[in-house]
């Protein structure tokens, strides 16, 4: 049964990743009771940055493929972040992305509906638009053109949820732009964070393409605000609907992102290596619907504020000699490391510690 009130019981899956800790803190600040659910692939990748983000009230360590009804006990809403979450990880094994992202979403959503959870917020992605044919602005009605296993899994996840939508069970799809921002589980495999990492550590802002692809951006705190708005909105405002999540001015060409980093790090030089020729991921997105029809959603973070935040994090010594391209900050490397250490099998299931 969904109830909107001052305090709701919300299960946030994937809370021990990049976006999750910031989202949990926002939900806690808004007065909600939060259960975190995560298998903990990146649990050890914690880099303290002096902030004290509130932890969940309860933490469940479990694979989404094994979620059980008791995990959802008493939940009013689910925000589903858990999954393999970018294109290179999909290249590990496309079947794996399908099993975890689509299969995991199916299992969690079916159980949520059976258990009477009224609201299911799905972290989808603008990457489902993939390569836009004419370069025009894409709204929520635009055709899908997914160009990676990851994007395909997000299209399939939305399909699963659309079929389950019913009175009393309202799924909502937040098609987030590419994220940026500072988190206790920091990532440098995302374009703005990555370019700032290059600028800071080498003095060279290395753009792997020719800089022309369009890449809409959104801060992880604004993604979290959108999820909070989607959880608390009246059902008729969001039922089985998709919202592109970003600011109105969130569409940038990669070269503009590099130049913004350069303005914040004037001593760094920008280079276009062109290693990634013909990057098929290029799309410009229309964010009007969320800005006008998702009650209470007000994004705050601009590209410039994001550059400022990243620079403050770096100048505070948060890297502390760590390589920004190490497994601490690059998801694919961390998963490969744990597989090599025998902690994860080829299906990314946790293995018991060897004695």
Answer yes or no whether residue 230 interacts with ligand NAD by CB under 6 A.
no
Answer yes or no whether residue 178 interacts with ligand NAD by CB under 6 A.
yes
Please report how close the Cβ of residue 25 comes to ligand NAD at its closest, in angstroms: 14
Please report how close the Cβ of residue 39 comes to ligand NAD at its closest, in angstroms: 4
Is the Cβ of residue 104 or residue 211 nearer to ligand NAD in the bound state? 104
- Number of residues this chain uses to bind ligand NAD (CB under 6 A): 28
- Spatial distance between the Cα atoms of 93 and 109, rounded to a whole number of angstroms: 24
For ligand NAD, the nearest residue by Cβ is: 17
Answer yes or no whether residue 190 interacts with ligand NAD by CB under 6 A.
yes
Answer yes or no whether residue 243 interacts with ligand NAD by CB under 6 A.
no
Answer yes or no whether residue 193 interacts with ligand NAD by CB under 6 A.
no
Answer yes or no whether residue 211 interacts with ligand NAD by CB under 6 A.
no
Residue of 25, 63, 221, 222 that binds ligand NAD (CB under 6 A): 63
- Binders of ligand NAD among residues 107 to 146 (CB under 6 A) are 123, 125
Is the Cβ of residue 205 or residue 348 nearer to ligand NAD in the bound state? 348
Answer yes or no whether residue 60 interacts with ligand NAD by CB under 6 A.
no
Residue 194: phi and psi, rounded to 5, are -65, -45
Please report how close the Cβ of residue 247 comes to ligand NAD at its closest, in angstroms: 15
- Spatial distance between the Cα atoms of 170 and 236, rounded to a whole number of angstroms: 9
Is the Cβ of residue 90 or residue 118 nearer to ligand NAD in the bound state? 90
Answer yes or no whether residue 81 interacts with ligand NAD by CB under 6 A.
yes
Answer yes or no whether residue 45 interacts with ligand NAD by CB under 6 A.
no
- List the one residue out of 143, 175, 142, 170 whose CA is nearest residue 243: 175
Residue of 35, 39, 224, 282 that binds ligand NAD (CB under 6 A): 39
Q: Which residues of 235-261 are buried (b: 16+ CB within 10 A; e: fewer)?
A: beebbbbbbbbbbeebbbbbbebbbbb
**CA dist 228 → 113, 122, 332 (Å):** 20, 12, 29
The answer to whether residues 179 and 19 touch, using CB atoms and an 8 Å cutoff, is yes
Please report how close the Cβ of residue 331 comes to ligand NAD at its closest, in angstroms: 5
Answer yes or no whether residue 2 interacts with ligand NAD by CB under 6 A.
no
- Spatial distance between the Cα atoms of 324 and 205, rounded to a whole number of angstroms: 14
Answer yes or no whether residue 20 interacts with ligand NAD by CB under 6 A.
yes
Please report how close the Cβ of residue 224 comes to ligand NAD at its closest, in angstroms: 10
Answer yes or no whether residue 156 interacts with ligand NAD by CB under 6 A.
no
Please report how close the Cβ of residue 266 comes to ligand NAD at its closest, in angstroms: 27
Please report how close the Cβ of residue 80 comes to ligand NAD at its closest, in angstroms: 7
Answer yes or no whether residue 16 interacts with ligand NAD by CB under 6 A.
yes
Answer yes or no whether residue 85 interacts with ligand NAD by CB under 6 A.
yes
Answer yes or no whether residue 25 interacts with ligand NAD by CB under 6 A.
no
Answer yes or no whether residue 104 interacts with ligand NAD by CB under 6 A.
yes
- List the one residue out of 95, 205, 110 whose CA is nearest residue 152: 95
Binding site for ligand NAD (CB under 6 A): 14, 16-20, 38-42, 63-65, 81-85, 100, 104, 123, 125, 176, 178-179, 190, 331
């Amino acid at each position: 049964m969904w109830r909107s009130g001052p305090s709701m019981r919300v299960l946030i899956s994937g809370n021990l990743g990049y976006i999750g800790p910031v989202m949990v803190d926002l939900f806690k600040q808004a007065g909600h009771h939060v259960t975190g659910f995560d298998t903990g692939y990146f649990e050890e990748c914690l880099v303290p940055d002096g902030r004290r983000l509130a932890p969940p009230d309860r933490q469940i360590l479990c694979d989404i493929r094994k979620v059980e009804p008791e995990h959802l006990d008493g939940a009013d809403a689910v925000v589903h972040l858990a999954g393999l979450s970018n294109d290179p990880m999909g290249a590990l094994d496309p079947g794996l992305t399908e099993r975890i992202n689509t299969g995991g979403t199916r299992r969690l959503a079916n159980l949520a509906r059976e258990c009477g959870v009224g609201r299911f917020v799905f972290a989808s992605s603008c990457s489902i638009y993939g390569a836009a044919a004419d370069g025009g602005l894409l709204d929520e009605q635009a055709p899908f053109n997914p160009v990676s296993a990851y994007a395909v899994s997000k299209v399939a996840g939305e399909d699963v949820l659309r079929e389950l939508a019913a009175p009393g069970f309202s799924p909502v799809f937040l098609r987030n732009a590419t994220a940026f921002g500072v988190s206790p589980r920091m990532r440098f495999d995302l374009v703005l964070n990555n370019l700032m990492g290059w600028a800071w550590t080498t003095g060279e802002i290395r753009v792997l393409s020719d800089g022309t692809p369009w890449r809409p951006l959104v801060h992880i705190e604004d993604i979290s605000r959108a999820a909070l708005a989607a959880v608390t909105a009246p059902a008729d405002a969001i039922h089985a609907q998709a919202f592109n999540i970003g600011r109105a001015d969130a569409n940038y060409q990669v070269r503009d992102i590099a130049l913004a980093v350069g303005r914040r790090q004037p001593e760094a030089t920008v280079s276009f290596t062109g290693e990634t020729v013909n990057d098929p991921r290029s799309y410009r997105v229309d964010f009007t619907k969320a800005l006008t029809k998702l009650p209470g959603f007000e994004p705050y973070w601009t590209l410039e504020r994001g550059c400022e935040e990243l620079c403050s994090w770096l100048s505070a010594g948060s890297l502390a000699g760590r390589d920004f391209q190490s497994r601490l900050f690059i998801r694919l490397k961390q998963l490969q490391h744990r597989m090599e250490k025998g902690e994860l099998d080829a299906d990314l299931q946790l293995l018991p510690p060897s004695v």
